[in-house]
Structure 1
Amino acid sequence: MLDQNQLRKDIDLVVQGLATRGVDFDAQRFHELEARRKSVQVDTENLQAQRNALSKRIGQLRSKGEDASQEMAESQAIPERLKQLELALAEIQAELSSWLATIPNIPHSSVPVGSSEEDNVELRRWIPGARNANDEPAHITFQPKDHVEVGEKIGLDFESARKLSGSRFMMLRGPLAALHRALAQFMLNTQTIEHGYQECYTPYIVNAATLFGTGQLPKFKDDMFWVTKGGQDHTEETDADAVAEDLYLISTSEITLTGSVRDEILPQEDLPVRLTAHTPCFRSEAGSGGRDTRGVIRQHQFDKVEMVQLAHPEKSYEALEEMLGHAEAVLQKLGLPYRVMQLCTGDMGFSAAKTYDLEVWLPAQNTWREISSVSNCEAFQARRLQARFRPEKGRPEYLHTLNGSGLAVGRALVAVIENYQQEDGSVVVPEVLRPYMGGLEKITPQA
């Protein structure tokens, strides 16, 4: 959520920053709400001063044995008037908070201005065996097939998944299922053993407060899968907490990892906190517009290894570069060509102040596809979560939260299938994954 103090001090800067994201911030509405808030606060302070003065006057009159009935009558009327002002102030704050909850984060000054992915900036690329940064990925010597055509012969089963759940689901069998598992385990080991993240196992179902804290609600409610809706009939055995509000399947473990520090104050010496988890992710793809309906690229259920850092505000951009390197390391170990893109203002996620995307090369499509997104949200999520740290001196301050894919497992599977495919339809297992697959070197088409 935006910083209300910043809005009060320099609203023009906020308006300009949001304009680069294509958001027209209504400064007049904010000024009007602020004027109402100030008026109520002034009235409240005046009444409190009047109450104090009356209390003092009553004491003086009583000490002299004089009549204080008029002053007491005036004093007794004040609490009800204060209560009305308190309700009025709460109503104004609720309106302001509800409105600001729909406004995205302000881009960092280093983010290129643009309106769509066409305006993103390529920073660099990594090609195995490349002599310079401008090299193109090596071309497969035969006509490459896409991951669906190759995968369906080695264990990718869309038909069973469609029978079980419908479209945009997959089932994996045999060595291909093992390859998917190996990718996730390899990613987790890389992030925990080599990069110092603490592995977590988190819930897959969360409440609305958690989703609000990380910015999924209220804006992206239609992109979520709802599990339990308040107001439905429930048996007496049902947990009362579970029926009190809607519950949702997570769309990323960023939600649970970042949300785990909601309403907490961390010691400064514990920063940065590095967390990682491998979870399934569930997305309705309500806003996908029918894109990528073929294959594994855009599914309702997919797996991801997520990285989260909770950092000191002065060090969060160092942490962002570090996390980008942690995601890159996975792709380099897998030997997959990729490029680093800096997203423009118009293509960033709702909570992000600055984002890098990693795009992996898919030879059958002859294009780059996103496989990781690494973002610094600064204090935007922390304000919504009330997640803070205690500095050596002074009051608690908001954390800076960062998140990134380390990586999306399904898309990594697609990239391995397409980049390691052989002319006979087999797929070579990347060397770093073989220890997780009992030494298997190649997955061959099933008879």
Structure 2
Amino acid sequence: MLQLNYIRENRDAVIERLTVKNFNEVSLIDDLIQLDESRRKIQNESDAIAAEANAAAKQIGDLMRQGKREEAEAIKSKSSGYKEQVKLLTDKLSQIEQELQDKIVQVPNLPHSSVPIGMTAEDNEVVLEDGAVPVLSERALPHWELLAKYDIVDLELGVKVTGAGFPVYKGKGARLQRALINYFLDQAAEGGYMEVQVPILVNESSAFATGQLPDKEGQMYHVGGDDLYLIPTAEVPVTNLYRDSIVKEDQFPIKHCAYTPCFRREAGSYGAHVRGLNRLHQFDKVETVQIVHPEKSYEVLEEMSVYVQGLLKSLELPYRVLRLCGGDMSFTSALTYDMEVFSAAQERWLEVSSVSNFETYQSNRLKVRFKNEEGKMQLAHTLNGSALALPRIVACILENNQTDKGIRIPKVLVPYTGFEYID
């Protein structure tokens, strides 16, 4: 959530930056500024009346102690309306503050100056590519056929138990999943991330604080009876560990990783591009989260990008890094890098990770603050990155590593799987 004082003091710059995200609702920005002016005016008026009431009360007390009862009663009668005036102003102030809140959550985060202008994924900027694309034989199969061939993931059983998008992993498929999770967690620990195990259901305050609510695209699963939400990513509970907190500056960077299942409705996703493991309603992911000093956040973003690239290299997967354009970025992000892996059997790039800097957009909602060197309270910056989401990693391992002997397991995973091939 943007800070009102920044919007007020930088109106034109805010409007200009938001156009990069294809947000052109200038009237909303002006409404916010006008509401803020009204709020401050009413607050000043209320404070002035309250000060007069306090002064009158002190004067009445002094006169009563001096035995000047008639003078005291006259002042008391004159000031009798103060309380009602303050109440009316307080009610009006509450109404305006609610309007401000309702409107400011409709404004996305400001994109960083390096964000490319564009409308769709086609306008994203390719930052780098790494690794050789494997050349498969004519008999090569897409991963959804490999799942059935080796009986490692059963999509139909998932439909029976729950519905489409909820696969059942079996045998070596389940062990490969577990191997990837443990490998990613071990690598995160080596990278200085402290592992946490967090709830996969969160309350409304948590979902709002990290920007998942209001849910504009209807992608979250809501448990109505308890008014809780299934998490779309571990970013939500992990970042909320620090909600309403004042951290010490010497704690930076705060680094956490967590493995959780993730749940997304994926409303409106249809077609061949969502076959097999390409897009699921439930999937596993290891997430990394950092809370850092504002002066370091873009340096940290680059470090997190390099870290994820290191995982992809170790898995021997060809990948590329994209800087997302304004139209393809999330509502809450200031700058996002997507990492995509090339799926040789599908002959296309698949997103497997996003690494984002939210600057103060989340921390303003979370109220994650620290005292700077001058002793003043300041909002921290928050970042997160998938490290990594499993379904498409599994899909690309299966497709890119198919041989006459079976599916070759990347060397770094063999100590975790206990086998070199799925056959």
TM-score range, shorter chain: over 0.9
> Cα distance, 1:143 vs. partner?
4.4
Residues 1:368 and 2:370 aligned together: no
Counterpart pick for 2:105 among 61, 82, 101: 101
Residue among 330, 334, 340 paired with 1:359: 340
Maintained 8 Å contact 1:17/1:106: yes
Q: How does 1:4-403 map to 2 (within 5 A)?
A: 4-25=4-25, 26-55=28-57, 57-58=59-60, 61-62=63-64, 63=66, 65=68, 67-128=71-132, 137-154=133-150, 155-193=152-190, 195-220=191-216, 222-229=218-225, 243=226, 246-288=227-269, 292-403=273-384
Deviations 1:341-395 (A, max 9, x none): 0001111111100000000000112111100000000010001111112334322
CA distance in 2, matches of 1:291, 1:417: 18
* Deviates most, 281-290 or 163-172: 281-290
Query: CA–CA distance in 2 between the matches of 1:380 and 1:156?
Result: 39
Matched residue type, 2:72: A
What's the CA shift for 1:43? 1.9
CA distance in 2, matches of 1:198, 1:291: 39
**Does the CA contact (< 8 Å) of 1:121 and 1:344 recur in 2?**
yes
The residue type paired with residue 38 of structure 1 is R
CA shift at 1:61, angstroms?
4.7
Paired with 1:117 and 1:166, the residues of 2 have a C-alpha distance of: 29
From 413, 423, 427, give the equivalent of 2:407. Answer: 427
Amino acid at match of 1:118: E
Count of matched residue pairs = 418
Structure 1 window deviating more from structure 2 (272-281 vs 95-104): it is 95-104
**C-alpha distance 389-288 of structure 1, shift in aligned 2 (>3 A):** farther
> Which residue of 2 is the match for residue 236 of structure 1?
none
Amino acid at match of 1:344: C
Matched, 1:410 2:391: yes
Whole-Å separation in 2 of the counterparts to 1:436 and 1:197: 20
Identity of aligned residues (%): 41
8 A contact 1:337–1:361 mirrored in 2: yes
**What's the CA shift string for 1:139-172, capped at 9, x where partnerless?**
2243431100112111121111111111112111
> 2:244 touches 2:366 (CA, 8 Å); kept in 1?
yes
1:395-415 CA deviation, whole Å, 9 max, x = no partner? Answer: 221110000000101111111
Shift of 1:289: 5.2
Give the conservation status (yes or no) of the 8 Å contact 2:184–2:387: yes
**Secondary structure of 1:210's partner?**
helix
Secondary structure in 1 matching 2:265: coil
Contact persistence 1:223–1:287 (CA under 8 A): no
Give 3-state SS (helix, strand or coil) of 2:274's partner.
coil
Say if 1:102 and 1:219, in contact at 8 Å, map to a contact too. Answer: no
Paired with 1:30 and 1:117, the residues of 2 have a C-alpha distance of 31
Matched, 1:442 2:421: yes
Query: 1:100 & 1:67 partners in 2: Cα distance?
Result: 50
Cα deviation, 1:310-365, whole Å, max 9, x if unaligned, reads: 00000000110011111111100000000010001111111100000000000112
Letter in 1 for 2:409: V
SS of 1:349's equivalent in the other structure is: coil
Change (3 A) 1:60 1:181: closer
Matched residue SS, 2:376: coil
Offset from partner CA, 1:273-301 (integer Å, 9 cap, x none)? 11001110011112435573311111010
Structure 1 contact 336–416 (Cα < 8 Å) conserved = yes
Question: How many Å separate the matches in 2 of 1:56 and 1:196?
Answer: 59
Q: 1:290 to 1:105 in 2, by over 3 A?
A: farther
Q: Secondary structure at the match of 1:305?
A: strand
Deviation at 1:42, TM superposition (A): 3.1
* Partner SS for 1:405: strand
- Give the structure-2-normalised TM-score: 0.94
CA contact (8 A) 2:181 2:259 kept: yes
For 1:41 and 1:179, the matched residues in 2 are separated by 60
Distance 2:379 2:240 in 1: 14
Structure 2 CA distance for aligned equivalents of residues 389 and 34 of structure 1: 25
CA-CA distance at 1:64 after TM superposition: 7.2
- Paired with 1:225 and 1:27, the residues of 2 have a C-alpha distance of 31
RMSD: 1.7
Amino acid at match of 1:428: R
TM-score normalized by structure 1?
0.90
